Chains A and B, each alone.
Chain A
Amino acid sequence: MMERPVAEITIREAVARGLREALDRDDRVFLMGEDIGRYEGSYAVTRGFLADYGPDRVRDTPIAESVIVGSAIGAAMGGLRPVVEVMTINFMLLAMDQVVNHAAKLRYMSNGQFSIPLTIRTVTGGGGQLGATHSQSLEGWFASVPGLKVVAPSTPYDALGLLRSAVADDNPVIYAEHALLYGVRGEVPDDWYDVPIGSAAVRRAGKDVTIVASSRMARFAEEAAAALMEKSGHEAEVIDLRTLRPLDTGTIVESARKTGRVVVVDEAWRTGGFAGEIVSTVQEEAFDDLDGPVVRVSGANLPAPYSRKLEAAVYPSPERILQAIERNFGL
């Protein structure tokens, strides 16, 4: 049989393709955000969009995150399906009232009279020497809020598939793109597919240890797994969460029961971080199958420093993941 056509594209291109499809398929979809139109996106995702779709559907906004998100909520209540870009997840803090108090609760508080079909694209992650206010990974915060869905793709395939699901969803979805993954290349079929929200991916099968991660940390986890194999011949199973809320606990727990050893990698701060949620889930659901404590490799409890040397010290790395496996499990 002939192979289906498959193109290799970047995550940036996958997101752009998903946005164009959404605009092409449904007139109720429009984009709104800071510098997405004439400037063509601070991460160049919406290049050419203004020319192709016009200013009603590709709307440049003032720098005013609360009204960007809030007006998107209102537009969603009024029958549209907005896709908003909040330039970075750090700026989401200016829109917390709208995201947490309103987007997440309006459906529940109105007992289903209103739904909020809203996608908020935002850029997460550190490691680019942008300093403390521009280097946070806050998607885990949002994942603690009932009423929101949170996804964080790490491959072009997932970026497109999850964006399709997010735009089709009748609930507010926070779609976190990692700032340092835009150039990552991968295969994306021409045929239609989607990636359901709430399903993790097993990136690499293994029997000795499970590494759970998302976004850029999932890629680090794969590097660590390869290094482990090369160094000691042990097999690490890598789970890329893809969605933080609703969490695919089944996939995590199944793997934990199989390997008995679990490392959770999280770019965010260790204290109160989302990794802790996964650790709790694993010990509650798979305690009897564990050979030892579930281990976290998290970001340091610090504002991100600017200096290259100092910054490198605060984030997880493939080396640190490998060290954690060796130190804790003697693999």
Chain B
Amino acid sequence: MNLQRPQAIEFYRQMLLIRRFEEASSRLYMQGKIRGFLHLYIGQEAVAVGAIPALNADDYVVSHYRDHGHALARGMDPKVIMAELCGKVTGSSGGKGGSMHLFDSSRNFMGGYGIVGGQLPIAVGLALAVKYLEQGRVVMCFFGDGAVNQGEFHESLNLASLWKLPVLFFLENNLYGMGTHVDRTHAGGRDIYLTAESYKVPAAQIDGMDVVGVREATTEALARVRDGGGPVFLEAMTYRFRGHSLADPEEYRDESEVTAWRGRDPIEWFGELAVEGGLLSDADVEEIAEEVAASVRESIQFAENSAEPRLDTVYENLYG
């Protein structure tokens, strides 16, 4: 990929926004301002930022419960996400969704899904609608290594392939389904993408810590899906630097493993690469950091200053 400066700035800015947003939400969680479960995307930023902005505006994104990074990479306003995490009326779902259930219909961001694997059939259905309506769109569906042992994963791959539906199945393999290593959960071991090939879905494994590589692979995969040949499967090898959620005591990973992956921090790695390659200056890096910090600060203020939902709205939007 012949990387240009504007692209480099976007990669760096978007990844850093996710990182700082998640660090801030972690702080708010510790302060009790965010409750429930909070699953941070820290460590996996290169996947969302490499993949999602490669889509067109009318394409669909389907996420999982670790959805903040996807939502930000799709262009959702950090303010409405933070407000949703804080359960405020100004949140993306007016405080009715929460961290695992972010939605933005204006961006075809079709949801974070709280049930492991549950989003896959829905993504297949969106693709069915795309094909039925001849819209030429693509559905990008994210899921983790925990989802691939669910029946819904297999049902979805089979049907999407059988009906040649425009889905890009995007596996974020961060090696752990909650606290259990993929070697202990998947008969095929870490090379999960090979499973897709048994459904005649073209599949590849990529480095999920390399934003440039993710973008290249995504662009190629999207072109293939748009050709109408059916779904494509990408497995991005990645790692979450924090626990499964903030309720996670983190006692199941070797310190050396965590340290080794942190040594491959996707933001630091890309930042250094871009500065060394002359795409970004130190001043750029500083400016982006300030811009991102301001945006995150603004999101916190917005969330904290927003009202809680009114009690008399609790029955609203159950039925249409």
A-side residues, CB < 8 A to B, are: 30, 56, 61-62, 64, 66-67, 69-80, 82, 97-98, 101-102, 106-115, 146-147, 149, 170-171
Chain B proximity of A171: nearest CB distance (Å): 5
**Binary interface encoding of chain B residues 206-219 relative to chain A, with 1 for a CB under 8 A from any of its CBs, else 0:** 00000000000000
Report chain B residues within 8 Å CB of A112: 316-317, 320
Contact B125 A75 (CB under 8 A): yes
Partner of B129 from the list A69, A75, A108 (CB cut-off 8 Å) is: A75
A113 near B103: Cβ-Cβ < 8 Å: yes
CB nearest neighbor in B for A73: B122
Residues from chain A with a CB closer than 8 A to the CB of B156 are 67, 70-71
For B283, list chain A residues within 8 Å (CB).
Answer: none
B34 nearest CB across to chain A (Å): 17
Write the nearest CB–CB distance from B135 to chain A, whole angstroms. 8
A171 near B320 with CB under 8 A, answer: yes
In the assembly, what is the distance between CA of A159 and CA of B318, in Å? Answer: 25
Within the complex, the shortest CB–CB distance from B74 to chain A, in Å, comes to: 14
Interface residue tally for chain B (C-beta within 8 Å):
42
Interface centre among B94, B115, B152, B320 (most CB of A within 10 A): B320
Chain A residue contacts of B115, Cβ below 8 A: 97, 101-102
Q: Check A102–B103 contact: CB distance below 8 A.
A: no
Give Cα A73–Cα B124 distance, bound, in whole angstroms: 9
Chain B residue contacts of A111, Cβ below 8 A: 92-94, 96-97, 103, 316-317
Q: Known contacts A111-B93, A113-B93: does B111 contact A106 (CB below 8 Å)?
A: yes
B248 close to A (CB within 8 Å): no
Contact check, B319 vs A171: say whether CB atoms are below 8 A apart: yes
Contact mask B147-167 → A, CB, 8 Å, 1/0? 000011001101100100000
- Please tell me which one of the listed residues B101, B128, B152 contacts residue A75 in the complex, with CB atoms under 8 A apart: B128
> Which residues of A are found within 8 Å of B176, using beta-carbon distances?
none
- Assess the A71–B128 pair: CB atoms within 8 A: yes
B121 and A67 contact, CB distance less than 8 A: yes
A101, B317: Cβ atoms under 8 Å?
no
Given A111-B94, A113-B104, is A64 in contact with B125 using a C-beta cutoff of 8 Å? Answer: no
Q: A66-B151, A67-B156, A73-B121 are in contact. Are A108 and B130 (CB under 8 A)?
A: no
CB neighbours (8 Å) of B110 from chain A are 74, 77, 114
Structural contact, A64 and B159, CB atoms closer than 8 A? yes
- Among residues of A, the one whose C-beta sits closest to the C-beta of B158 is A62
Residues of chain A with a CB closer than 8 A to B105's CB = 110, 113-114
A108-B317 in contact (CB<8A): yes
B121 touches A109 (CB 8 A): no
- Of the A-B pairs whose beta carbons lie under 8 Å apart in the complex, a sample of 13, sorted by A's number, is A67-B124, A67-B155, A70-B120, A74-B123, A75-B125, A75-B126, A78-B126, A101-B115, A107-B319, A110-B101, A111-B316, A114-B103, A171-B319
